[in-house]
Amino acid sequence: MLRASLISLIALGVVAQEPAKVTPKSLPKPAKAVAKAKPAAKTASAPTASADKPVVLARVGGAAITEADFQSAFALLGQQEQMQVLMVQGGKEEFVKRMAESKLLAVKAKRLGLDKTPGFQLALERAKDDLMAREFLAKEGDSLQKKLAVSEADVKAYYEGHKDRFKQPELVSARHILVSVKQDPKAEAGLTDDEAKARIAKIQEELKGGAKFEDLAKKYSDDPGSKENGGLYADADPSAWVPEFGAAARTQPLGEVGAPVKTMFGYHLVKVEERKPSRQVPFEEAKAAADQAARRDRQVTVWNELMDGLRKEIPFELLKPAPSDAAPAPAAPKPAEAPKPAETPKGGAQ
């Protein structure tokens, strides 16, 4: 998780150099947008810049918040947040108000001496490190952008080298009717095993009488995930279902309602409508997924190369401190738990 969050810093450096295009005509670049954006409602008293006097947007405790302060804070926002500030009427004014309110809180905290606490000093140093890391990555933005670029040939090579990741498993389209059984025999609500079997038998009789399976699923099924869809799960991987249900989905004759299947949730009547064998997804069909995977792979590679280079230049060591003598003894290991059963079909009864 930590490395994933750090990898995103690479994008920060890249974004600082080349903002994403949002529309065909392209909105203003985030880094320069504030200077170009026109206020939603310009007034006669709006501050104007001069060569030697900064534009003051707010004052708190005798300290000024200037246009330069706003620009600096704005540059630290993500692209989506920058666009919100620029495109929403009054967005800049609201952002400046939040800056002033934050300053108001900071002034009060300083008067209370909270800036002298060890916790604050530690957090301050951490914030400085993060800001310096951003500055370094922004400086290296052009170089990182070139290394992160992924061509169609790269995507094709990634696909060819990882074909096992682009295999589609066997897929089954099946309808089912679930009659659930209460887990606690003493519970008042729910059906007992015998009552559930009796209801299944009643449904089977209605099927023999010509009733449509999907209509009976809507009427009787206890599975909220498929009930309103006539009990249908389309193009699903049977390996994700509980074993008994998955086995029936793989083996039952197509178009026929099999014998009741008992699972941990109750009794199912299953009707398999279609099976699709597993296959290798062709490149053109897998291209979008391969492109995303290739880019993620390249990000990890570029990040690791960057870190390896810095470690050769700067001493770097991760330590695992020995446990303290005063630390409590570890708890005795618990007995191994029995493996949990596979999940029920999507939306199955709980």
Query: Could you please report the per-residue DSSP string of 217-236?
Result: HHHH---TTTGGGTTEEEEE
Q: Are residues 109 and 180 in the same domain?
A: no
Look at residue 127 and tell me if it is in a domain: yes
Q: Domain total for the chain?
A: 2
Strands 171-180 and 232-236: antiparallel
Q: Are residues 128 and 250 in the same domain?
A: no
**Residue 70: is its pLDDT beyond 80?**
yes
> Worst-scoring range by mean pLDDT, 199-213, 284-298, 309-323?
309-323
Q: Please say which residue of 280, 302, 317 terminates a domain.
A: 280
Q: Are residues 10 and 132 in the same domain?
A: yes
pLDDT mean over 243-249: 96
Q: Are residues 229 and 124 in the same domain?
A: no
Top mean pLDDT of 9-23, 114-128, 321-335 is at 114-128
pLDDT of the residue at 4: 43
Largest interatomic CA distance in the chain: 92
pLDDT mean over 182-202: 90
> What length does the chain have?
350
pLDDT mean over 13-35: 35
pLDDT mean over 250-278: 96
What is the separation, in whole angstroms, between the first and last Cα of the chain?
Answer: 31
Burial status of residue 155 (CB atoms within 10 A of its CB: 0-12, 13-18, 19 or more): buried
**Residue 243: is its pLDDT beyond 60?**
yes
Q: Which amino acid is at 265?
A: F
Q: Which amino acid is at 252?
A: Q
- Which of the four pLDDT bands, split at 50, 70 and 90, describes residue 76? confident
**Residue 154: is its pLDDT beyond 90?**
yes
How far apart (Å, rounded) are the C-alpha atoms in residues 192 and 265?
12
Residue with the larger pLDDT of the pair 51 and 130:
130
pLDDT mean over 49-77: 87
pLDDT mean over 13-27: 35
* Residues 133, 127 contacting (CB under 8 angstroms): no
pLDDT of the residue at 51: 55
pLDDT of the residue at 263: 95
Which CATH number do you get for residue 176? Answer: 3.10.50.40
Helices (H), 178-212: 193-208
pLDDT mean over 164-179: 96
Q: What percent of the chain has pLDDT over 90?
A: 70
Buried/exposed code over 16-25 (b: 16+ C-beta within 10 A; e: otherwise): bbebeeeeee
User: Tokens for 108?
Assistant: 């009060």
**Residue 217: is its pLDDT beyond 80?**
yes
Q: Please say which residue of 263, 280, 297 terminates a domain.
A: 280
Q: Please say which residue of 120, 149, 178 terminates a domain.
A: 149
Q: Are residues 104 and 242 in the same domain?
A: no
Buried/exposed code over 96-118 (b: 16+ C-beta within 10 A; e: otherwise): beebeeebeeeeeeeeeeeeeee
CA angle 206, 343, 278 (to 5 degrees): 85
Q: Which amino acid is at 40?
A: A
Domain that holds residue 247: 168-280
3-state helix, strand, coil in the chain (%, to 5): 50, 10, 35
- Helices 283-313 and 152-161 pack at an angle, to 10 degrees, of 100
User: Tokens for 141?
Assistant: 């933005």
Residue with the larger pLDDT of the pair 297 and 333:
297
User: Tokens for 35?
Assistant: 């200077």
Look at residue 97 and tell me if it is in a domain: yes
Q: Are residues 217 and 112 in the same domain?
A: no
